Chains A and B, each alone.
Chain A
Amino acid sequence: MSKAPLLRVSGLEKSFGGVRAVRQVSFEVGRGEIVGLIGPNGAGKTTLVNLITGVVRPDGGRILFDGADVTTQRPFQAARRGLARTFQIVQPFPQMTVLENVAAGALFAGKATSRREAERVAAEQIAFVGLQPFADAPAVSLTLPNRKRLEFAKSLAMGPRLLMLDEVNAGLNSAELDNALDLIRRIAARGITIILIEHLMKVVLGLSTRIMVLHHGELIRAGAPRDVIADPRVVEAYLGQKFAKRYGRLADA
């Protein structure tokens, strides 16, 4: 079983009214990979994460996680199985403290069996993402970069095996971005498999072991970073000529 890919998606399909947000998407993610998922706005990236975490039900296709069919799971079941995600629009428990927010992840999805134990796990993860000074502050009082860190800490406390990061770096300045990159690397070093949704190519190319490209709901390309960004279809659909040239060098480095 452990030889099988961690995640296997086949023929996934989802429409909203007339919009086919995800069309016949199939791919695999192996253990320990960092897979970059890119594509223009509205390509279906968030929908794909929503499908994998049970937030929306697919119209067709199958999702296997660690060999088990999880196609019709609910979000809380996904969380307990080790499928964690962060939200493009952060989703804290606003009036709870940072510690309580993170402890919730440890208690309900992670291994903690008591509130005390959950708070211990939470304190570790809060330290890991660098939020200690705010542990007792209500989540609403955090700045945007710190809210993103809170999302990280919360999903880490869940003890995930697959972590899906949906534009966690959007809206960060370059110093904050370096911190976030470092954080993602340290998470990967723990052996957590990552799917990274990201518009900043610098981040995608700096972290990904493999890249997948969604366009109009279709997976138009998947492969090694340098091959993907050299693909004319990807250049046309997403990157544009200028970027292709600029980032070609980055990928080679």
Chain B
Amino acid sequence: MRTRYVLLAVGVAVLVLLPAYGGNYLVRFGTFLCMYAALALGWNVIGGVTGYPSFATAAFFGAGAYAGALLQVAHTPMPLAWAGAVVFVAAASAVVGIMILRLRGHYFAVGSIALVEVARLVASSWSDLTGGGMGLNVPILPGGPEYAGMVFLYSMFAVAAAAFAAGLWIEHGKLGFALRCIQQNEDAADMVGVNTTACKIAAFVLSAVFAGATGAVYASWTAYLDPSDAFSILLTLKVPVMAMLGGAGTVLGPIVGVVVFQAMEELLWSNFLEMHHAILGLMIVGLIFFLPGGLLSLGAHRRRAPARATSREVPAE
């Protein structure tokens, strides 16, 4: 376990020092890594720990992006606009959560993906506010591209770090235990005194908040938003795949998944962007059938297997 955290610390150092030695390309790559890490860690709270297969990531990412962008267009200073976006997404996700968290399993998955479609429809039809399909220009951060690159790298990094801290807090705290009980057997969790409704909403909102914060930073970073970019089905599929690739339900899994996925994408298929959906589809099938625990479970199996064997050897009375 310790080596994992040492590796993580090294990775963080490489990332944080990027502007000192890397060019624009690497800084941009690092910013995307942080962005997906924040999204995957956020998704993990509801999708991994709680076991609710959410495909709503892009809905809250887009909502945060538009809320932040519109606030900035209305001359709100950037950090305040981001904070406003987070508050908006928290409130919106609480309302939506109350409605769709009544659904379970496939029904929840379908309901959550519908949220993305509905949100995109709203953004593209409400053109007075959002500019519709024409898109929305967000004020550009003054100070030149290098400075801006650094600001957005560190901002995304801060969101990812907060998501990681939240993940650790959840794993070791009472809420995380309750969420794991829900993931294992929701009715039984209710029976042992877990307020399942409140816990699920808390998990859903937490996960949405990180997507919203990420979206708000993203909008300022790219300085331009349109509905299909903000509410992207690709993003909503990619994030759970990344978390599952590394190991859903663990704190480090989503990070490992993001790094591996982004590296593969950059090296292997960045030139075939139109094949993205097909590759994602294949990965989902592959993960479900061959690696349900994710990459991290490959190491864990070796450690856990003997413990399980001994527990079976104890004779039943």
B180 within 8 A of A: yes
A107 within 8 A of B: yes
By beta carbon, the residue of chain B nearest A143 is: B316
Contact A53 B191 (CB under 8 A): yes
Knowing A93-B185, A95-B184, A138-B311 are in contact, say whether A76-B316 is a contact too (CB < 8 A): no
By beta carbon, the residue of chain A nearest B311 is: A137
CB distance from B310 to the nearest CB of A (A): 9
CB distance from B288 to the nearest CB of A (A): 17
Knowing A109-B193, A134-B311, A143-B316 are in contact, say whether A91-B188 is a contact too (CB < 8 A): yes
Looking at chain B's contact residues, the main secondary structure is: helix
Contact B193 A105 (CB under 8 A): yes
Against A, the Cβ 8 Å flags (1 = close, 0 = not) of B282-310 are: 00000000000000000000000001100
B4 within 8 A of A: no
Q: Which residues of A contact B181 (CB under 8 A)?
A: 93, 96, 104, 108
Against B, the Cβ 8 Å flags (1 = close, 0 = not) of A39-77 are: 000000000000001010000000000000000001110
Measured between alpha carbons, how far is A18 from B180 in the docked complex, in Å? Answer: 37
Measured between alpha carbons, how far is A154 from B192 in the docked complex, in Å? Answer: 8
CB distance from B312 to the nearest CB of A (A): 6
By beta carbon, the residue of chain B nearest A95 is: B184
Contact A92 B311 (CB under 8 A): no
Contact B311 A136 (CB under 8 A): yes
Q: Which residues of A contact B174 (CB under 8 A)?
A: 107, 114-115
By beta carbon, the residue of chain B nearest A79 is: B193
Against A, the Cβ 8 Å flags (1 = close, 0 = not) of B158-185 are: 0000000000000011100110110011
Measured between alpha carbons, how far is A108 from B193 in the docked complex, in Å? Answer: 5
Measured between alpha carbons, how far is A106 from B136 in the docked complex, in Å? Answer: 53
Measured between alpha carbons, how far is A247 from B125 in the docked complex, in Å? Answer: 77
B229 within 8 A of A: no
B194 within 8 A of A: yes
Measured between alpha carbons, how far is A31 from B188 in the docked complex, in Å? Answer: 26
Against B, the Cβ 8 Å flags (1 = close, 0 = not) of A91-105 are: 111111000100111
A158 within 8 A of B: yes
Q: Which residues of B contact A5 (CB under 8 A)?
A: none
Q: Which residues of B contact A75 (CB under 8 A)?
A: 187, 190-191
Contact A92 B308 (CB under 8 A): no
B273 within 8 A of A: no
| Interface size range of chain B in the complex | 20 to 34
CB distance from A19 to the nearest CB of B (A): 21
Measured between alpha carbons, how far is A115 from B178 in the docked complex, in Å? Answer: 11
Knowing A76-B193, A93-B185, A94-B184 are in contact, say whether A134-B307 is a contact too (CB < 8 A): no
Measured between alpha carbons, how far is A103 from B193 in the docked complex, in Å? Answer: 12
Contact B185 A105 (CB under 8 A): no
Q: Which residues of A contact B184 (CB under 8 A)?
A: 93-96
A17 within 8 A of B: no
B189 within 8 A of A: yes
Question: Which single member of B172, B194, B308 contacts A76 (CB below 8 Å)?
Answer: B194
A161 within 8 A of B: no
B314 within 8 A of A: yes
Question: Which single member of B178, B192, B312 contacts A105 (CB below 8 Å)?
Answer: B192
B195 within 8 A of A: yes
Chain A positions 94-134 with a Cβ under 8 Å from a chain B Cβ: 94-96, 100, 103-105, 107-110, 114-115, 130, 133-134
Knowing A76-B194, A107-B174 are in contact, say whether A133-B314 is a contact too (CB < 8 A): yes
Contact A146 B316 (CB under 8 A): yes
By beta carbon, the residue of chain A nearest B195 is: A76
Question: Which single member of A85, A105, A107, A136 contacts B307 (CB below 8 Å)?
Answer: A136
Contact A92 B185 (CB under 8 A): yes
Question: Which single member of A95, A115, A136, A143 contacts B177 (CB below 8 Å)?
Answer: A115
Contact A94 B191 (CB under 8 A): no
Measured between alpha carbons, how far is A87 from B312 in the docked complex, in Å? Answer: 24
Chain A positions 127-158 with a Cβ under 8 Å from a chain B Cβ: 130, 133-134, 136-138, 141, 143, 145-146, 154, 158
Q: Which residues of B contact A154 (CB under 8 A)?
A: 192
Measured between alpha carbons, how far is A93 from B312 in the docked complex, in Å? Answer: 18
By beta carbon, the residue of chain B nearest A98 is: B311
Knowing A92-B188, A93-B184 are in contact, say whether A80-B311 is a contact too (CB < 8 A): no
Q: Which residues of A contact B190 (CB under 8 A)?
A: 74-76, 79
Q: Which residues of A contact B180 (CB under 8 A)?
A: 93, 96
Measured between alpha carbons, how far is A245 from B314 in the docked complex, in Å? Answer: 43
27 chain-A/chain-B pairs, Cβ below 8 angstroms: A55-B187, A76-B190, A76-B195, A79-B192, A79-B193, A91-B185, A93-B180, A93-B184, A93-B188, A93-B189, A94-B184, A95-B184, A100-B177, A103-B177, A104-B192, A107-B177, A108-B178, A115-B172, A130-B317, A134-B314, A137-B312, A138-B311, A143-B316, A145-B316, A154-B192, A158-B193, A176-B317
Tell me the A residues contacting B by CB distance below 8 Å: 53, 55, 74-76, 79-80, 85, 87, 91-96, 100, 103-105, 107-110, 114-115, 130, 133-134, 136-138, 141, 143, 145-146, 154, 158, 176
The 5 closest A-B pairs by CB, nearest first: A109-B193, A137-B311, A108-B193, A93-B184, A79-B193
